[in-house]
Amino acid sequence: MNKQASCNDESDPHSLSFEQARERIEKSVAAVKGKRCVTIREALGRVLADDVCSPMNVPPFINSAMDGYAINADDISASGESVLKVTGKSFAGRPFEGSVNKGECVRIMTGAVVPQGADTVVMQEHAEVDGDNIKIGSEHKKGQNVRLPGDDFSTGDIIIKAGERLSPAKLGLLASVGVTEFNIIRTPVVAFFSTGDELKGVGQTLQPGDIYDSNRYILFGMLQKMGVECIDMGVIADIKEQIELTLKEAAAIADVVITSGGASVGEADYIKEILDEIGEVNFWKIAMKPGKPLAFGKINNALFFGLPGNPVSAMATFYQFVQPSIKLLEGEKSDHTLRLTARCLSKLKKRPGRKDFQRGIVKTDENNALVVDTTGIQGSHMLSSMSKANCFIVLPAEAGDIEAGTEVEVQPFSDLI
């Protein structure tokens, strides 16, 4: 008899390690072809296609970092006080037209142009006003409280690199140099469907043995948060021909095709078989928990991910594999995944063999140290435990049970989950 490995085998020789699987994905996923020219407000969350250089110095002119008085440092006495005559005002957007001569100063506000002849700003708190004059001490230093042109960046500097994702700060950066149009990488299109005879959409009546399909709602949520274009192709029954047809349709319209269910070794699990026939299988089993059956490959030009059916497994594999792949497709160059070390508050059960992504709640204790607790029972069908979590507790493949008090690796969820 041909003995097949089940999903619960801890040491299946046909499984790839988590790290090997990630490496294979990194090697085989390239950015989608195609750029789109957009304006700033269309660009939030998209990935920049070409470097953007600044057409100007920022700040563009010498300006004050404080409210106070613009002076010439030569007027600061070496010891004792200096008295300076206030000859005008320089406000932000309303520069002082004249220049500051010996023995003079100009009232100045934050962001205002430092007038000709001045090179230093004395904070108003450090100046004593006496009629039209001010008195200042000897402690001031030449150039203090002044922002020089280009001290943030200069004309021609690359301010955002191709492959960076545009955050609100970056939109502001583009606006600060007056760049209104630039190229972003085309938004990938992702098509997905659930497979399973037992699945009903919300609003349908459950017959004995049926359950509601949760994975399409999870995928919808995660893909929406990633900002990709998504196409929900519904639920497909465990009929090989129908799954095959839908997969071909999906691959023709999308850059990425995601299914859930049917990726394991049960009698109604066709995903791997179909992928073998109509596409290429790169791998289909990973030594991770939850989520051992994860098919990854290609159907024509589309990337394909066959996620496990159990919702927590589908989420964990999406998070660890589909998300980074979509980021690579979007041309994103940097990986911002945060990994922390936290003290585990309770004992965690684990058998050596698979890398484990347990659901946890990470927080700070009364001493501001990071601690993490489990969300409780870790069934891969238990969305209640997943929905309480704010992190994965990442346990290495070879680890066994974790005693309370042990330092563990924690991967806080990005806002995808």
* Contact footprint for ligand AMP (CB under 6 A): 194, 196, 198-199, 211, 213-215, 260-264, 266, 269, 308-311
Q: Quick one: what does residue 264 bind among Mg ion, ligand AMP, none, with the CB cut-off 5 to 8 Å set by partner type?
A: ligand AMP
Distance CA 209, CA 19 (A): 37
Q: Which is nearer to ligand AMP, 91 or 217 (CB)?
A: 217
Rounded least distance, CB 358 to Mg ion, Å? 24
Q: Say which residues have a Cβ less than 8 Å from residue 242's Cβ, sequence separation at least 6.
A: 236
Alpha helices in 32-112 (DSSP H): none
Rounded least distance, CB 192 to ligand AMP, Å? 10
Instruction: Quote the radius of gyration of the chain (alpha carbons, Å).
Output: 30
Q: Quick one: what does residue 103 bind among Mg ion, ligand AMP, none, with the CB cut-off 5 to 8 Å set by partner type?
A: none
**The two three-digit tokens of residue 115, written as one number:** 């007038």
Rounded least distance, CB 379 to Mg ion, Å? 17
Rounded least distance, CB 239 to Mg ion, Å? 12
Q: Decide if 286 contacts 294 (C-beta within 8 A).
A: yes
- For residue 50, CA distances in Å to 88, 149, 163 come to 46, 26, 8
Residues 293-352 that bind Mg ion (CB under 5 A): 309
Helix (DSSP H) and strand (DSSP E) numbers for the chain: 8, 26
Q: Say which residues have a Cβ less than 8 Å from residue 169's Cβ, sequence separation at least 6.
A: none
Q: Tell me the residue nearest to ligand AMP as measured from the CB.
A: 309
Rounded least distance, CB 260 to ligand AMP, Å? 5
Q: Which is nearer to ligand AMP, 279 or 308 (CB)?
A: 308
Q: Decide if 326 contacts 274 (C-beta within 8 A).
A: no
**The two three-digit tokens of residue 394, written as one number:** 């990442």
Residues 227-266 that bind Mg ion (CB under 5 A): 261-262
Determine if 196 is a binding residue for Mg ion (CB under 5 A). Answer: yes
Q: Quick one: what does residue 214 bind among Mg ion, ligand AMP, none, with the CB cut-off 5 to 8 Å set by partner type?
A: ligand AMP
Q: Quick one: what does residue 310 bind among ligand AMP, Mg ion, none, with the CB cut-off 5 to 8 Å set by partner type?
A: ligand AMP
